[in-house]
Structure 1
Amino acid sequence: MFSRAHVPARHRLSIRIWQNFAAKQIRVFWDGMPFYVDEEAWNKLFLECGSNDFRGHCSFVSESCGFPLNRMKRGRSKCQHFTPSEGRKKRHRSVPPAHVQTGSSASQRPTEETWGSLPHHVVLHIFQHLSLVDRARASSVCRRWNEVFHIPELWRRFEFELNQPATSYLRSTHPDLIQQIIKRHAQHLQYVSFKVDSCTESAEAACNILSQLVNCTIKTLGLISTARPSFMDVSQSHFVSALTVVFVNSKSLSSIKIDDTPVDDPSLKVLVANNSDTLKLLKMSSCPHVSPAGILCVADQCHGLRELALNYHLLSDELLLALSSEKHVHLEHLRIDVVSENPGQTQFHAIKKSSWDALIHHSPQVSIVMYFFLYEEEFEPFFCEETPVTHLYFGRAVSKDMLGRIGMNCPRLVELVVCANGLEPLDEELIRIAERCTSLTAIGLGECEVTCSGFMEFVKMCGGRLSQLSIMEEVLIPDNTYSIEQIHSEVSKHLGRIWFPDMMPTW
């Protein structure tokens, strides 16, 4: 390869492609800047673009053997082609890339016209495998590549990262880039997400961007708080106004994730009025300004809704019946967060068994996931009747009585995770769960107690269907039948794979 020192700055436009056969990785030197593309993606690029279109503009060097596979000549579109195996056979005659002897200076210098003639679709496919920063660097190579940089296909998906330098080490999307996107690519955006840190200023900046997306056709929108829910600190009127801009101008929204935000009933009505035919996913856990009537409006009008996440206070018999209507498609995923911030002050209502039955009759394959963050005295309304929950997660201590009710009334249970229970052994409760929850495939126990004999009985009843079994060693209590040392081999035998209890780190 030629030395950059002998090439004028305006001609430093070459692409050098090095292939590491051992690592199955392609390293692309684009105007002297290295980029990495996996071999599978690179081969796909050749198949889609046509090797002749591409090889005529690139010089290939094998990193394994240092032999130039295709040497570019000025004014020539055809190159000599060597397979990797041929290159390896000539290893003893190859010259390291840094010391390759060059011919005349005219044959060393690819002209700007040569790179300008590289087909748009070839450059586009390369750009699709690069990060935004690398694409921006490459776009400065020539005018044609800058045109490709702004092709709409490269701007369908974008994630705005908004962080305050004083409080976060994460990199933010540059303000100049944000303005360029709003001016030139707002109408191209389809899959948009905002990641903000714990600062209110970051959430307000996200709202300011949302309010400017007036000519957009967004299909998916996600508002993500990476730390504390900073969107809740934004003025509700400011947030709702910005969100309404997107709801009104995007007529084909299919996925919306707005957990921990001050969205309210009127803004949901705007969403329904403009996107009822396309909405398939709605995640809005911890949205205190939404009422049961607001979410019921969504279920009544958005008959294509397949995934829904909400807090338990929004769940009602009417909502389940609306999701079970003949007009509504089969629900696939229902997540319910049961959270208590003020113990003793929150009253939880019960859902009728008939409402659950209607949902299961309409959507027999639905996954119902429940996350509990309650205190022991607040569990009374739950699982007194048969409940079709499939995944249960308890983030705080749960009583023996509650676990007993789960074993009796949750026949569809697939996964159970218990953070803590106390100092009473859970042998009977686990055995009942193994006996009646025949679909159980995963269980995790944290600060609980189970005798080794009771645990072994549970494992024998579940057998190989337990694909995930996570038990801390401190949970197991040795008895006259089994010791901690024996548990490992016995459990492994019944599971059909090697198993060890989890160990508490020493640090």
Structure 2
Amino acid sequence: MKRVKGDEDCSSSSEGPTESCKKARKLQPSKEKHQEEEEEEEEEETDVDLCEFGFDWALLPQEILLNIFQFLPLLDRAYASQVCRGWNQAFHMPELWRCFEFELNQPASSYLKATHPDLIKQIIKRHSNHLQYVSFKSHFISALTVVFVNSKSLSSLKIDDTPVDDQSLKVLVANNSDTLRMLKMSSCPHVSPAGILCVADQCHGLRELALNYHLLSDELLLALSSEKHVHLEHLRIDVVSENPGQHFHTIKKSSWDAMVRHSPKFNLVMYFFLYEDEFGPFFKEEVPITHLYFGRSVSKDVLGRVGLHCPRLVELVVCANGLRPLDEELIRIAKRCTQLSAIGLGECEVSCSAFVEFVKMCGRRLSQLSIMEEVLIPDHKYNLDEIHWEVSKHLGRVWFPDMMPTW
């Protein structure tokens, strides 16, 4: 009994070396297990730190909140304003609304579907006097009217597919004639050239104007060229065919000449989305186009006329032409368009020799040369493996044909 008791005392108080080592191995965690535990502890500490930082969101400086809010759509911005008092104050700061663009799209956009129209009108009405840059694309005409009536400092206005009319533009001009610098209008069937003339007559700070071609007229160009108007810097015209065979009017050369005399350095940007048989009224006389984009197929004849009548051309993009080589047309453009610095070609054909000659004539002023590989046709002088070296030599930089369009 004493021996047994002694063993019990020994096991509870003192152990032999062998038994102690065995027990130590059982109690001491392995090195791998110890590392895992340390990593878990670090993760727990990190989680705690993040949670602690999360409680400090309400204390973020307002300039940081403003920067965050500027990236939020209208609906998300309204939700964020309900988080706390500080965020609500940031939501109503004038600086936020000067730089915000209202993309009020419906019915496809979830913003309007989830936001009651009255809420949107209240927001716009409260901050309309702060607005400077506004973009509308919807049938939500009541919100647009609120902006026109209450705003006093609009600088940039873009209106797409909205039932704005001449009377609405008069309200806009009455309140923002001293500040409006840019007006872009697209797919606004209720606006007439007279409405645009109202803007041109009274907004003396206007610098940029974008219109559909059906709103462009000789009368409008002459009005923009009168002495009382400041010099336009950009005029963008979208020439869009909604139905094949649509008729387009012709702008007189004298009207364009008056515009150039009044604003010698203005950029005339034209986007063409026409069918081939609808180009009859265009490029028959000299046009001061600087940036020209063909979104649909364009014939060799039209491109030949571009080379003859667009001496101010700076940028040309041809998205499609067909399978008839454009060698002569490209060389003519290089000869007569001495300011050309950017060109993009896709879904058309140019021989490698003609392309090299084009690059030689334009020289290093070609800052952008985007040519699809399929456009270049090998001939007796160059193949596709050789042409990039020759073109690079004349450009003064390494150049390769594009695998995908970059315009």
Other-structure match for 2:248: 348
Distance 1:184 1:477, change over 3 A: closer
SS in 1 for 2:135: strand
Tell me what 1:452 maps to.
Answer: 352
The amino acid of 1:199's aligned partner reads A
- Select which of 194, 200, 216 maps to 1:315: 216
1:191 matched residue in structure 2: 99
Residues 164 and 188 of structure 2 are in contact (CA less than 8 Å); yes or no, is this contact kept in structure 1? yes
The answer on whether the counterparts of 1:157 and 1:192 sit within 8 Å (CA) in structure 2 is no
Corresponding position of 1:334: 235
Rate the CA distance shift 1:474–1:176 in 2: closer, same or farther, 3 A: closer
User: Equivalent residues in 2 for 1:27-426 (5 A)?
Assistant: 31-32=52-53, 138-141=56-59, 149=62, 154=66, 158=70, 161=73, 172-175=76-79, 177=81, 185=92, 189-195=97-103, 199=108, 202-203=111-112, 205=115, 208-212=118-122, 213-216=124-127, 217-223=129-135, 231=138, 234=139, 239-344=140-245, 346-426=246-326
Confirm whether residue 488 of structure 1 aligns to residue 388 of structure 2. Answer: yes
Sort the Cα spacing of 1:368 and 1:431 in 2 relative to 1 into closer, same or farther, 3 A.
same
Which structure has the bigger radius of gyration?
Answer: 2
Q: What is the rounded CA distance, in whole Å, between the counterparts of 1:138 and 1:291 in structure 2?
A: 54
Matched residues, percent identical? 65
Go from structure 1 to structure 2 and tell me whether the alpha carbon gap of 1:334 and 1:454 turns closer, same or farther (over 3 Å shift): same
RMSD over aligned Cα atoms:
3.1
- Which residue pairs with 1:94 in the alignment? none
Aligned twin of 1:498: 398
| Pair 248,417 (structure 1): closer, same or farther in 2 beyond 3 Å | same
Residue pair 2:101, 2:135 contacting (<8 A) in 1 also:
yes
The structure 2 residue matched to 1:474, chosen from 365, 368, 374, is 374
Opposite residue 165 of structure 2, the aligned amino acid is D
What amino acid sits opposite 1:194 in the alignment? F
User: Distance in 2 between the 1:425 and 1:282 partners?
Assistant: 39
Give the counterpart letter for 2:333 in structure 1. Answer: I
The Cα of 1:328 is off from its aligned counterpart by 1.5
Partner of 2:362 in structure 1? 462
CA contact (8 A) 2:250 2:282 kept: yes
Partners of 1:424 and 1:246 lie apart in 2 by 51
Whole-angstrom CA distance in 2 between matches of 1:138 and 1:317? 61
- 1:504 CA drift (Å): 5.2
1:256 aligned counterpart, secondary structure: strand
CA drift at 1:248? 1.6
TM-score by length of 1: 0.64
Cα distance between partner residues in 1 of 2:361 and 2:288: 22
Query: Secondary structure at 1:348's aligned position in 2?
Result: coil
Cα separation, 1, equivalents of 2:320 and 2:313: 19
User: Structure 1 or 2: larger strand share?
Assistant: 1
Measured after TM superposition, the shift of residue 219 of structure 1 is 3.6
1:282–1:485 distance in 2 versus 1, CA, 3 Å: same
More helix by share: 2
1:466-488 superposed Cα distances (whole Å, 9 cap, x missing partner): 11111111111111122122211
- Structure 1 pair 441–207 and aligned structure 2 pair: CA distance change class (3 A): farther
CA deviations on 1:131-190 (whole Å, 9 max, x unpaired) are: xxxxxx64534xxx6xx64x8994998465268xxxxxxxx4454638986997176632
Report the Cα distance in structure 1 between the residues aligned to 2:220 and 2:391, rounded to whole angstroms.
Answer: 43
Verify the 8 A CA contact 1:187 1:215 in the aligned structure 2.
no
Structure 2: distance between partners of 1:174 and 1:423: 54
Letter in 1 for 2:144: L
Work out the CA distance in 1 between the residues paired with 2:51 and 2:335: 63
Counterpart-to-counterpart distance in 1, 2:353 and 2:134? 48
Larger deviation: 317-326 or 271-280? 317-326
Residues of 2 paired with 1:456 and 1:215: CA distance? 60
Q: Matched residues in 2 for 1:343 and 1:384: separation? A: 21
**Residue 261 of structure 1, CA deviation:** 2.5
Unpaired segments ≥5 residues, structure 1:
13-28, 34-136, 164-171
Higher relative contact order (CA 8 A, sep 6+): 2
Unaligned residue ranges in structure 2 (runs of 5+): 1-41
Q: Give the structure-2-normalised TM-score.
A: 0.78
